[in-house]
Structure 1
Amino acid sequence: MFDLADILETALRGAAAGISFLLVLALLIAQGDGARVRRLGALFTFSNGVYVLISGEAARDLVTPVLVPISVIAIYGTVFFWWFAAALFDDNFRWRWWRFAPAVIIPFLHIGHIWAPPGAVETLLWYSHVGLNSVMFLDALRLALANASDDLVNPRRRFRFALAVTVGVFGLIIASAETIERNYLLPDTLRMVHAAAIFVLTLVFAVWLLRPRMALFAAPAPDPETSWAAQAQKALPGDRPAYERLMALMEEGVYRQEGLTVAALAEKVGVPEHQLRKLINGALGFRNFSSFLNARRIEDAKAELSNRDNARKQIIQIALDLGYGSIAPFNRAFKQATGQTPTEYRKAALGNG
């Protein structure tokens, strides 16, 4: 027989799950660019809704006949969240084999600790599962914060910090509740706090994503067929003087300055930082500052690597001259832009001789 605490907890979890499932529908039917990010967001949100339903004792009793199959969906929530964060925050996101490794490992850990008899093996499997989830949460947090200052999409930049706070709070609540529940029966007060926190966080997450924020998912790209000067037509009339000053500085080679930041460039242009972010993103289509600088740096690199007068010049020296602090980021940026390493490009341009 359910008491009042059970009813309130189930109501909160049901409301949170309902919001999650409505958000799934909204993400799937939304139009515009960024379909992959929206699909991954829908996967995570659906899994989160299922987890919310089965993580409460009273709610779990209601779905006992289908608990096993739907729990499989729930255990993938952290994996889906990790994929979603990577696709959203990393403009160079690519599927790699190691992205799928946790999806293969987690079912074995989950089923193993359920079937294993109480003891050292069961404990090891359980804590391994919690540890793997924690690693993915921390990596999502790293993705959200690592390049936040480089992000030129203002809605996405704000979402990075919102997500960082949400992940921190949500992860702490989940880890604490599951650890306590493993060893003790959760008191009614803590169960209510757990359910209420999940409801509030789910509601905030849904409100953020359902607002008109297509820039959060859209992936505009610079038009390679149009010169940067011609792109000025996309700038608002009030922004064109700033755009012209920006282009003048770029022609002078300001992009070769090592450690150049959006704030430093905004000061040189003479506009607030947020205005420069919006200008570069809106007029030129760049979603992060590094890509904006690399567009010019890589063109200069290709010219230098193709010049026979520079045939004996070390590639690391070219990288340093272009503003890179070391050879590694230059190699990554060059290969991403051309499909070749600088050495391969030079050999193809100059011949093996």
Structure 2
Amino acid sequence: MTALLILDPMIRGGAIALFLLWIAILWRDHRAALAARVAIAMHVAIIAYLLSHGFHSDDRSFLPFAICDALSAMVPALFWLFVRLWFDDQQRIGWRSWLLVTAFCAALLIQTVMIVATGSFSIEIWVLVRIGMFGFAVTAMWVAWRGRANDLIEMRRRFRVGLVCAIGVFILLATFVEMFQGSNSHSDRWHMVMLTAIHVATLIVSIGLYRFRSPDLFAAMGPPPKPARPPAAPSPLAQRLRALMAEERAYRAEGFSIAMLAARLGEPEYRVRRAINGEMGFRNFTAFLNSFRLDEIRAALADPAQREVPILTIALDAGFGSLGPFNRAFRDAEGMTPTDYRARAAAARLGDSEID
């Protein structure tokens, strides 16, 4: 027990210091990126979890304990948002996802207010919150694991496994312990398990993130800056890549993967990844494929001969599996819906014909 009293503040204090350092770095260098801002919020929630064990549920420190406990319960939801933004290089999150996180946050707020005001809590909300925490954590781990093959940032692709093991397993373990340790006679043993998990997770995440070059952490916002000097001529592999996509339209194939692309080119997969990321500037394989798909779709929407072809048919023919991902990709690229794009193209053609 004496060892625990000594180790606990040391490990928690060290972890808090590392997370505060990362908050400062992310705010200084990457605060324009939504993924970085969500990461900062997640770090704050993790710090709240680490601080919550320094308070007790007595009258004097009950309010800060309740606040820290509520904030710490937001870690899985913020982890889920962060994983989707960072690993998929998304610039925004859809309203349905924000609505889900807001509803989860509202349940936590209601429970906290109820506890502070009456000293009692709702078992229904407690169960709902715990199910939500497990759901967010497991889904985030699945998202991180699922997209590893399409990740073209080599360091980030390798880091996925470490992040899943460190943060994901830590969240699941913390949720499990918080739910059941009250009835467990060996709480000191679980306490030591949690201290070890905190130590290992913090080290894995910190070491992994420190290995990144700053520009590789998050996708650049807005259009890429113009180079100070003309870019070097594309390599033969990059030229073959563009030819395969533009002329043979390989991106149309269902389930087309980077392994299939490497096989068709007769090149090692790592060289194909390096060419797509290093020379063409794409951070994930899906964005690379979508760039060619969208070029084909823009041409089709502006083509008067295809004005009666349904937009869904055009999207499916270009390789998109469904309407939802296509609409999101098109809006992100053009800032308007495909319907608006087609209407503007038709109006531009009409204006040109009147001038002639």
TM-score normalized with structure 1 length: 0.81
**1:317: how far off?**
3.4
Aligned 8 A contact 1:221 1:286 in 2: no
Match of 2:103 among 92, 101, 104: 101
Q: How many equivalent residue pairs?
A: 339
Aligned 8 A contact 2:104 2:129 in 1: no
Runs of 5+ unmatched residues, structure 1: none
**1:106: how far off?**
1.7
Equivalents in 2 of 1:225, 1:213: separation in Å? 18
Match of 2:246 among 247, 251, 256: 251
**1:225: how far off?**
10
The 5-angstrom pairing of residues 181-196 of structure 1 reads 181-184=181-184, 186-196=186-196
Structure 1 partner of 2:321: 325
Q: Using a 3 Å threshold, how does the CA distance of structure 1 residues 27 and 307 change in structure 2: closer, same or farther? A: closer
**1:140: how far off?**
2.0
Equivalents in 2 of 1:219, 1:195: separation in Å? 34
Match of 2:276 among 259, 276, 280: 280
The 5-angstrom pairing of residues 123-138 of structure 1 reads 123-138=123-138
Letter of the structure 2 residue corresponding to residue 103 of structure 1: C
Aligned 8 A contact 2:32 2:221 in 1: no
| Cα distance per residue 1:32-66 (max 9 Å; x no partner) | 686443333233223212312323xxx43599645
Q: Does 1:25 align with 2:20?
A: no
Structure 1 partner of 2:81: 83
Aligned 8 A contact 1:116 1:122 in 2: no
Runs of 4+ in 1 over 6 A off after TM superposition: 221-226
Give the secondary structure class of the aligned counterpart of 2:55. Answer: helix
Letter of the structure 1 residue corresponding to residue 110 of structure 2: F
Equivalents in 2 of 1:115, 1:186: separation in Å? 32
Tell me which moved more, 109-118 or 299-308.
109-118
Runs of 5+ unmatched residues, structure 2: 351-356
Tell me which moved more, 31-40 or 248-257.
31-40
RMSD of equivalent CA atoms: 3.4
Equivalents in 2 of 1:149, 1:86: separation in Å? 15
Aligned 8 A contact 1:148 1:157 in 2: yes
Aligned 8 A contact 1:113 1:125 in 2: no
Q: Using a 3 Å threshold, how does the CA distance of structure 1 residues 129 and 317 change in structure 2: closer, same or farther? A: closer
Q: Using a 3 Å threshold, how does the CA distance of structure 1 residues 287 and 311 change in structure 2: closer, same or farther? A: same
Equivalents in 2 of 1:318, 1:91: separation in Å? 25
Q: Does 1:148 align with 2:148?
A: yes
TM-score normalized with structure 2 length: 0.80
Structure 2 partner of 1:298: 294
Q: Using a 3 Å threshold, how does the CA distance of structure 1 residues 319 and 205 change in structure 2: closer, same or farther? A: same
| Cα distance per residue 1:46-91 (max 9 Å; x no partner) | 3212312323xxx435996453454454343334333332331232
Equivalents in 2 of 1:321, 1:271: separation in Å? 27
Q: Using a 3 Å threshold, how does the CA distance of structure 1 residues 185 and 261 change in structure 2: closer, same or farther? A: same
Aligned 8 A contact 2:246 2:292 in 1: no
Q: Does 1:172 align with 2:172?
A: yes
**1:178: how far off?**
0.9
Aligned 8 A contact 2:67 2:112 in 1: no
Letter of the structure 2 residue corresponding to residue 18 of structure 1: A
Equivalents in 2 of 1:133, 1:214: separation in Å? 31
Q: Using a 3 Å threshold, how does the CA distance of structure 1 residues 213 and 110 change in structure 2: closer, same or farther? A: farther
Equivalents in 1 of 2:142, 2:230: separation in Å? 34
Aligned 8 A contact 1:24 1:45 in 2: yes
Q: Using a 3 Å threshold, how does the CA distance of structure 1 residues 172 and 224 change in structure 2: closer, same or farther? A: closer
| Cα distance per residue 1:85-106 (max 9 Å; x no partner) | 2331232342534143333332
Relative contact order: is structure 1 or structure 2 higher (C-alpha 8 Å, sep ≥ 6)? 1
Match of 2:346 among 334, 346, 350: 350
**1:199: how far off?**
1.4
Q: Using a 3 Å threshold, how does the CA distance of structure 1 residues 5 and 289 change in structure 2: closer, same or farther? A: closer
Equivalents in 1 of 2:31, 2:278: separation in Å? 15
Structure 1 partner of 2:354: none
